[in-house]
Amino acid sequence: MCGICAYVGKENAVKHVLEGLKILEYRGYDSAGISYIENEKLRTIKAVGEIANLEQKVDEIFSNIAVGHTRWATHGGVTENNAHPHLSFTQNIAMVHNGIIENYKELKEELKLDKWNSQTDTEVFVNLVETEKGNLIQKLISASQKAIGSFAVAILDKSGFLVLGKRESPLYVAYVKGGIMAVSDTYVLSGLAQEFFTLKDNEFAEIKNDKIYFYNKNGKKITKNSEKMQFFNKKTQIFEKTHMKSEILETKDVLLETFMKYKNGDIFSKVILPKKLKEINLIACGTAYHSSLQGAEYFKKMGISAHSYIASEFRYGNEILNKNALYIFVSQSGETADTIACAKMLKEKGMVCLALTNTPNSYLNQICENVLPTFAGKEIAVASTKAYSCQVFVLYLFSLYLSGKFIEKKEEIEKVLNNFELIDVDKTLVDKISNFEKIFFVGRGQDYITALESSLKLKEITYINSFAIASGELKHGTLALIDKKSIVIALCTEEKTKEKLFSNIEEILAREGSVILVTNFENSFESLKIPTFPSEFMPLIAIIPMQFLALHMCEKLGYNPDKPKNLAKSVTVE
Ligand code: F6R
């Protein structure tokens, strides 16, 4: 949430920052802004909406130093005044910020300024920095001691240098061609740098005279080692009109790619497990939580006790911790604040933690050290698709590995992946479903998990009110909602519950609800046929038409599936 990009060097900083912001736009796209120095004056330009709006305003500007920001609103509405950068009352420094200063109201009162230009916590933070003693880096360090909450900040000083600081939200800095760059995501550095530095929590940096100087929270200079850039796989990229469509279509390739990386067992053999593995607990948010639910099913099938938890619930819940459990944190971005908070908490309590992420060098990877990567490639569309499939798949492979069945299953897996089909949904069905006011997704067992994920996809990009329910639960209350205005999309891929689900469909039809059955089984209902693969693979097969359904309904409504409203690709606030 919120993207930061700063550049200082010989080349045009405004251009570099804009290019960086375009890559970071997945982190938020409510508004954007940039501060730079021109003729020794600190100037700031902002625009509501996408980066393209800002780009039009800064065309032809040249500066050697700039900080930029793309915003996902937390405090204060989507307005130009609330867009970053925010200037201090002296107008000497401009700050861009990713995170939340939780005690901003108290700090604001203490600052007693006559005038505030925005409703943001960031304007409070930049003024707090300004009123502290010392040079800018000292000011930032002491201000950060008073600030409660999370921040990644880049501050541009009017006299021509930058300072950075970080707590919880990500921030990286690197020597690039002709200069130095600070960014929220190392992906921006692809093609510009081979190495980068990760600012750890409560570390700070000063970028002056073509050099980066690092400081700890006590203001002491420290030396840091650089890390090698790890690149996303680009081999599997497909280019369609929207990222979401390309990413769904890449699913087969990225599953194969992921399998190739895991095939020889090396990655699994490096995983650190508890001495006596008694249970597996998976912790995640949103779509990643749904893949965790499916992962728990796989582990249970292999005889390993497993549970899946929503990170924001786990953190403040009363779960009993177990030294003999493996805690798996599933996250595409490796940045999600709720998931990170749980990982930090469990790590501190000495639990064995493992990150299952799609983002090399992510914060979650750093916390857990123990990592299982998914090789989905960069996922840009906000709605997660191919990354979900890779998470489910890696959890399946891991369940096989832990139960000693990985080697014997390899051949079957490769065969399935080579024949994997990406089933689309035709227009007639999309048109039909679009006519209904209420859309439900139902299923049993693993199909219920697919129903949950299908419903989330539809909600997040079409804004249609839909929800998923275990089909056996319909009769315990929700059937009351079923009428002529309702359509139920029923998923059915498991032999053992097939007949029960068919009875549930009859119950819906009896109440004048319409039903579309998504299944690989013969049946007498209106249905979307999907191919038959071994049961463990059916969640991977069945989710594809549901992702396409959400995509087509979104397109039909004229929305951009890549940038749904009120969402961001990485949710770095709790
Ligand atoms: C939905 C979606 C979100 C994310 C959730 C967790 O399509 O993308 O629900 O799954 O915000 O994100 P990660 O996986 O990055 O932790």
Phi-psi region of 308 (alpha: psi -120 to 50; beta: other; left: phi over 0): beta
- 382 alpha carbon – ligand 1 mean position (Å): 8
> Do 278 and 350 have their domain in common?
yes
The one-letter amino acid code at 442 reads: V
> Do 414 and 433 have their domain in common?
no
pLDDT computed for residue 567 by the predictor: 79
Q: What is the mean pLDDT of residues 304-315?
A: 97
Mean pLDDT of the chain: 95
CA distances from 437 to 127, 193, 425, 434 (A): 49, 51, 20, 8
- What distance in Å separates the CA atoms of residue 331 and residue 339, rounded to the nearest whole number? 8
Report the 3 state secondary structure along 403-440.
CCCHHHHHHHHHHHHHCCCCCCCCHHHHHHHHCCCEEE
Last-in-domain residue among 418, 446, 471? 418
> Do 253 and 377 have their domain in common?
yes
**Residue 382 CA, closest ligand 1 atom number:** 8
**Residue 385 CA, closest ligand 1 atom number:** 7
Task: Return the sign of the alpha-carbon dihedral for residues 437, 479, 307, 265.
Answer: negative
- Quick one: pLDDT band at residue 364, thresholds 50, 70, 90? very high
pLDDT computed for residue 498 by the predictor: 95
CA distances from 274 to 27, 73, 280, 306 (A): 35, 41, 10, 14
Number of domains the chain contains: 3
pLDDT computed for residue 574 by the predictor: 72
> Do 323 and 435 have their domain in common?
no
**E strand or H helix at 290, and its extent?**
helix 286-301
Residue 140 sits in a domain of what CATH number?
3.60.20.10
Q: Is the pLDDT of residue 354 over 90?
A: yes
Decide: 331 in ligand 1 pocket, CB within 6 A. yes
**Residue 569 CA, closest ligand 1 atom number:** 8
Q: Which domain holds residue 268?
A: 243-418
**Pocket perturbation via mutation, ligand 1, pick of 185, 282, 314, 333 by most ligand atoms within 8 A of CB:** 333
Residue 237 lies in a domain: no
> Do 317 and 394 have their domain in common?
yes
Q: What is the mean pLDDT of residues 254-272?
A: 96
Decide: 561 in ligand 1 pocket, CB within 6 A. no
Residue 535 lies in a domain: yes
Query: What is the 3-state composition of the chain as percent helix, strand, coil, each rounded to the nearest 5?
Result: 40, 25, 35
pLDDT computed for residue 197 by the predictor: 97
Q: Is the pLDDT of residue 234 over 70?
A: no
Decide: 286 in ligand 1 pocket, CB within 6 A. yes
What order of strands is seen across the sheet that includes strand 486-492?
A: 466-470, 438-443, 486-492, 514-519, 527-529
Q: What is the mean pLDDT of residues 190-207?
A: 95
Residue of the CA atom closest to atom 11 of ligand 1: 286
Residue 405 lies in a domain: yes
Helices (H), 421-487: 427-434, 446-462
**Residue 336 CA, closest ligand 1 atom number:** 16
What confidence tens digit (pLDDT) does each residue in 267-281 have? 999 999 999 999 999
What confidence tens digit (pLDDT) does each residue in 447-489 have? 999 999 999 999 999 999 999 999 999 999 999 999 999 999 9
Q: Is the pLDDT of residue 144 over 90?
A: yes
> Do 297 and 199 have their domain in common?
no
> Do 274 and 180 have their domain in common?
no
Phi then psi for 31, rounded to 5 degrees? -165, 165
Biggest CA–CA distance in the chain, Å, is 77
Decide: 244 in ligand 1 pocket, CB within 6 A. no
- 333 alpha carbon – ligand 1 mean position (Å): 8
Residue 573 lies in a domain: no
End-to-end distance of the chain based on CA atoms, in angstroms? 11
Residue of the CA atom closest to atom 16 of ligand 1: 331
> Do 342 and 297 have their domain in common?
yes
- 574 alpha carbon – ligand 1 mean position (Å): 13
Instruction: Give percent of the chain above pLDDT 70.
Output: 99
- 569 alpha carbon – ligand 1 mean position (Å): 7
Q: Is the pLDDT of residue 233 over 80?
A: no
Decide: 493 in ligand 1 pocket, CB within 6 A. no
Residue 291 sits in a domain of what CATH number?
3.40.50.10490
Count the Cβ atoms, other than its own, within 10 Å of residue 353: 24
Least confident range of 161-175, 335-349, 559-573: 559-573
Sequence-distant contacts of 134-141: CB under 8 A, at least 24 apart:
136/93, 136/161, 136/163, 136/206, 137/163, 137/204, 137/206, 137/213, 137/215, 137/219, 138/219, 140/165, 140/204, 141/165, 141/204, 141/215, 141/217, 141/218, 141/219
Residue 101 lies in a domain: yes
Decide: 384 in ligand 1 pocket, CB within 6 A. yes
> Do 472 and 365 have their domain in common?
no
Residue 52 lies in a domain: yes
> Do 104 and 151 have their domain in common?
yes
Question: Which is more confidently placed, 573 or 152?
Answer: 152
Residue of the CA atom closest to atom 3 of ligand 1: 286
What confidence tens digit (pLDDT) does each residue in 124-141 have? 999 999 999 999 999 999
**Pocket perturbation via mutation, ligand 1, pick of 285, 308, 330 by most ligand atoms within 8 A of CB:** 285
What confidence tens digit (pLDDT) does each residue in 45-63 have? 999 998 999 999 998 899 9
C-alpha of 463 from chain center: 19
Please check whether residue 341 is in contact with residue 574, taking contact to mean a CB–CB distance below 8 angstroms. Answer: yes
**Residue 286 CA, closest ligand 1 atom number:** 9
- Quick one: pLDDT band at residue 239, thresholds 50, 70, 90? confident
Q: What is the mean pLDDT of residues 170-187?
A: 94
What confidence tens digit (pLDDT) does each residue in 386-445 have? 999 999 999 999 999 999 999 999 999 999 999 999 999 999 999 999 999 999 999 999
> Do 23 and 61 have their domain in common?
yes
Q: What positions carry a catalytic annotation?
A: 2, 569
pLDDT computed for residue 349 by the predictor: 96
- Quick one: pLDDT band at residue 16, thresholds 50, 70, 90? very high
pLDDT computed for residue 424 by the predictor: 97
Decide: 346 in ligand 1 pocket, CB within 6 A. no
Q: Is the pLDDT of residue 235 over 80?
A: no
Q: What is the mean pLDDT of residues 106-110?
A: 96
Q: Burial, 116: exposed, middle or buried (Cβ in 10 Å; 0-12, 13-18, 19+)?
A: middle
> Do 218 and 276 have their domain in common?
no
pLDDT computed for residue 74 by the predictor: 79
